[in-house]
Copies of this chain bind each other. A is one copy, B any other.
């Protein structure tokens, strides 16, 4: 199998490392994988691959016209990469990608295109790094009705939340440290704003319910306004705060959101630092849970290797996902919410179960209500923090 890699950042170098170190072992088991070309942006930057004979190029057409079977995408571009993947699939090349932005936005398009062109479209690395979730879930849905899936899907946010919680620090302090240590990007907005987790819960939920869910239907609230005082409040209720992507299907309606949640659940509350955690609930059994590294060089490359081996094993069914169901997103489940704000609007007033005022901050707990109602009542309030309360309080 001849492959090309698009991108040679952290994950790309990790993949090259594994392929180099495991070459003999893979060959012995008839897994013959050869890197033909690596597409990079800056041809003049010094690269230091294990295999010194590797060929780098900044010309995408060289990849498109090369005789490779499979292209690994480890870029973080959205539209440019999407267009390239389309061209590659149309020219008969399998795609393995870690690019959750592309997978989430164009999930149906790319799966359909893969089917039409009889190529593989594999994206195990796009969600939760080395945790084997995508492929088992993809098979599971044919014989088990999944009705809920939830997870800590963004390592950066979880690093910040769990560190604030354990060390009693404030947001800015922890973010700065995370950036210095490389756990958070210079521009962390996609992570702390919830966008990254939103993409992942979109992919998992579409797989689980075999239904298209548009990104803009997913209510997304990040952690970038969280304060130390929110943890104090949660702690008084015996709760931790974690950013969960969560969806469920009942009575033909989908509830889906990404937002901070107050929880006591040992599985999520005991997930610290950059770890990801996923819980799947289905008809055939109560639930199963998976936990592991959500990102990282060898961790994500490991997930790409899973996909490569599956392609080498030539599954007859090249792509499984097909959005055969259609369910409206309604967010009709009733929950209590925690809200910190500086003004309480009239709409909000009617929804308050209890209120505690500390300095300028109102810490509210709402009555049971659905998310749509909460969003409506929030109106254009600024500098707020909200969290769904998962527990009986």
- Quick one: closest B residue to A33, CB to CB? B143
The stretch of A104-112, A285-293, A360-368 in contact with B is A285-293
CA distance A314 to B18 in the complex (A): 27
Shortest Cβ distance from residue A152 to the other chain B in the assembled complex, whole angstroms: 13
Contacts of A376 in B (CB 8 A): none
In the complex with contacts A18-B284, A315-B313, A316-B313, A142-B26 CB distance below 8 A: yes
A379 interfacial by beta-carbon distance below 8 Å: no
| A113→B299 CA distance, assembly (Å) | 34
List, in ascending order, chain B residues with CB within 8 A of A77's CB. none
Q: How far is the CA of A283 from the CA of B136 in the complex (A)?
A: 22
Query: Which residue of chain B has the shortest Cβ distance to A296 in the bound complex?
Result: B285
User: Which residues of B sit under 8 angstroms from A140, Cβ to Cβ?
Assistant: 132, 302, 306
> CB-CB < 8 A to A306: which residues of B?
136, 139-140
Are B293 and A292 within 8 A (Cβ)? no
CB distance from A13 to the nearest CB of B (A): 13
**CB atoms of B302 and A130 under 8 A apart:** no
Q: Is A290 within 8 A of B288, CB to CB?
A: yes
For chain A, the count of residues having a C-beta within 8 Å of the partner chain is 50
Q: How far is the CA of A305 from the CA of B282 in the complex (A)?
A: 14
User: From residue 175 to 224 of chain A, which have CB atoms closer than 8 A to chain B?
Assistant: none
A22 within 8 Å of B (CB atoms)? yes
Chain B residues closer than 8 Å to A25, beta-carbon distance: 142-143
Which one, B31, B284, B317, contacts A299 given CB within 8 A? B284
Q: Given B142, B305, B309, B324, which contacts A22 in the complex, CB threshold below 8 Å?
A: B142
How far, in whole Å, are A317 and B313 apart by their CA atoms in the complex? Answer: 6
Contacts of A292 in B (CB 8 A): 285, 287-289
The verdict on A38 contacting chain B, using a C-beta distance below 8 Å, is no
Known: A136-B132, A313-B315, A314-B316. A293 touches B288 (CB 8 A): yes
Let me know if A39 is at the binding interface, CB within 8 A.
Answer: no
Contact of A270 with B by CB under 8 A: yes
Pairwise interchain contact A302-B284, C-beta atoms closer than 8 A = yes
Residues of B with C-beta under 8 A to A282: 302
Say whether B142 contacts A31, CB under 8 Å.
yes
A301, B288: Cα distance in complex, Å: 15
Whether the Cβ atoms of B296 and A143 lie closer than 8 Å is no
**Residue A383 at the chain B interface, CB threshold 8 Å:** no
A177 → B minimal CB distance (Å): 21
The distance in angstroms between the C-alpha atoms of A381 and B143, with both chains bound, is 51
Of the A-B pairs whose beta carbons lie under 8 Å apart in the complex, a sample of 20, sorted by A's number, is: A28-B324, A130-B285, A131-B288, A132-B132, A132-B140, A136-B306, A142-B309, A143-B305, A144-B302, A144-B305, A284-B298, A284-B299, A284-B302, A285-B293, A287-B292, A288-B293, A291-B291, A313-B315, A314-B314, A314-B316
Q: What 3 A-B pairs have minimum CB-CB distances, sorted nearest first? A: A288-B292, A132-B136, A284-B298
